[in-house]
Amino acid sequence: MSKFLKNKTLVMPDGTAMDGNPAEFLEGKFVAYYYSASWCGPCQRFTPQLAAKYAELKAAGHSFEVVLISSDRSRESAQAYHRKMPWPMLEFGQTPGCILEVPGYPTLVVFDPNGKPIGDFEGNTVVMSVPFDQWPNYEQIKKEKEKALATEWDALPAELSHPKHAHPLKKTAKMYGGTSGWNCDVCRGSGGSCRGYQCSRCGWDAHPACVGATPVAAPPATAAPGAAAEASKQPEGAASVTTDA
């Protein structure tokens, strides 16, 4: 951790330089670098939420610190914004020794006490939504969640029909190439993820749940193993030819 703020200065919300060495202050702690700016509306809304979370984590005795990396355009506006926060700021005009650019504001970039990044640019989610004791396993938890979602998706039928629409609907992993938003024709809600069911004739589309998509049942476990294997291989044709050679 210390390497990122080597030879840097941390400033307190009252504008005075922090006593002592920033590296020592951050030693052994999870540190969230808070990329934020007073000119950014979402930042202004997020800062009080982060301050509340900060107080909660501190009260629970967790080794956690936030450091504001200001993207304000002047020292004066950076300091005025910083006064609304309970954590230190990297001296205006100095850059951290690691990430210089973030995809947008506000962004938290979290590091564990050994300087290993947690969730790259997903620090807002890590800090605000993940219990502190699970932070070290964030990447693994995320992977498992994604895997479970993929398994769930794979089990849905490739095609189905629904009383609200006359044509068959096809399972589509990337609606509109995944490039544009879409709205569900059943609930009118946002498509959210890129996955849905779509009519290839007229573009009618819907969330899987909104057209009642449920996982296709696996072959019954009680069937003879040979028969079950043969049945599941039927659509693939050549795959079932194994004993002719």
Structure tokens at 175: 């609606």
Residue number with CB closer to Zn ion (157 or 191)? 191
H-helix or E-strand containing 31?
Answer: strand 30-36
- Least distance (Å) from Zn ion to the CB of residue 217? 24
In angstroms, give the least distance from the CB of 197 to Zn ion. Answer: 10
Angstrom distances, CA of residue 58 to CA of 29, 49, 81, 101, 115: 12, 14, 22, 28, 20
For residue 4, the minimal CB distance to Zn ion (Å) is 44
| Nearest CB to Zn ion, comparing residues 111 and 204 | 204
Restricting to residues 117-176, name those near Zn ion by CB under 5 A: 167
The footprint of Zn ion on this chain (CB under 5 A) covers a number of residues equal to 10
| Residue nearer to Zn ion on the CB measure, 65 or 185 | 185
d(Cα 179, Cα 194) in Å, to the nearest integer? Answer: 9
CB crowding 151-173: b at 16 or more within 10 Å, else e: eeeeeeeeebebeebeeebebbe
| Residue 142 Cβ vs Zn ion, minimum distance, rounded to whole Å | 25
Window 165 to 224, contacts with Zn ion (CB under 5 A)? 167, 184, 186-187, 199, 201-202, 204, 207, 210
Phi and psi (nearest 5°) for 37? -150, 145
Quick check: 83 binds Zn ion (CB under 5 A)? Answer: no
DSSP letter string, 157-201: -SEEEETTEEEEEEEESSGGGGSS--B-TTT--B--SS-EEE-TT
Q: CB under 8 Å to 41, separation ≥6 — which residues?
A: none
* Residue with smaller CB distance to Zn ion, 145 or 201: 201
Q: Least distance to Zn ion from the beta carbon of 190, Å?
A: 9
| Sites for Zn ion among residues 32-51 (CB under 5 A) | none
Instruction: Kindly tell me which of 45 and 164 has the beta carbon lying closer to Zn ion.
Output: 164
In DSSP terms, 64 is beta-bridged to: 30
Minimum distance from residue 235 beta carbon to Zn ion (Å): 25
β-pair type (30-36, 64-70): parallel
Query: In terms of CB distance, is 44 or 193 closer to Zn ion?
Result: 193
Considering the complex, what minimum distance in angstroms separates the CB of residue 204 from Zn ion?
Answer: 5
Nearer to Zn ion, 97 or 192 (CB): 192
From CA 135, how far away is CA 94, in angstroms rounded?
A: 28
> Which residues in this chain contact Zn ion in the complex, by CB under 5 A?
167, 184, 186-187, 199, 201-202, 204, 207, 210
